[in-house]
Chains A and B, each alone.
Chain A
Amino acid sequence: GAGVSQTPSNKVTEKGKDVELRCDPISGHTALYWYRQSLGQGLEFLIYFQGNSAPDKSGLPSDRFSAERTGGSVSTLKIQRTERGDSAVYLCASSLTGLDGDTQYFGPGTRLTVL
């Protein structure tokens, strides 16, 4: 596809359930990023992938959060035992190389609501 895509666009779940969010980066982009944006807040960095490796997981809020990337392409962000505080828009971005100065292109986001 031409841009970054994310599914689902909206996810409503109950507290305690697990969720999986998917990101398809721009074809050929080696770097992939996950961010979280709470209402009225800036973007909170979660994790960065270079190829299939995640050299920086420092932004993951707790061990309930995990992510993987396969084939240097699709990435999945998993949240276990969701809490109401996990409600936010989860944004995925990709860039060509991941190097300094590289532009990050964002997907449309997944709006997660935990009831």
Chain B
Amino acid sequence: SQTIHQWPATLVQPVGSPLSLECTVEGTSNPNLYWYRQAAGRGLQLLFYSVGIGQISSEVPQNLSASRPQDRQFILSSKKLLLSDSGFYLCAWSQGGGPPDTQYFGPGTRLTVL
């Protein structure tokens, strides 16, 4: 069966510090991968998605970036965090190689920027 991991679970960072969040998927190959952010009491905002290694599509221009160095690894980064980067970051996967399918979410990382 497929599982998706995210770490860390919680993170408190000062403004201007760098960020690296990691997501890995097990039990599937060539998944579509997604990074979302959810502000408190709000819906899901798609940040990046990837359909393959090295292929990243950005949905929201900002100080965040994403990379996919391996088939089942997706990394979200920032060089300098802003207060507005606080939120709940969710990684998700769906079955790749064809039309979009059900997305399954990792446990999330709660980021607080102070």
Partners in one complex: no
Interface residues of B (CB under 8 A from A): none
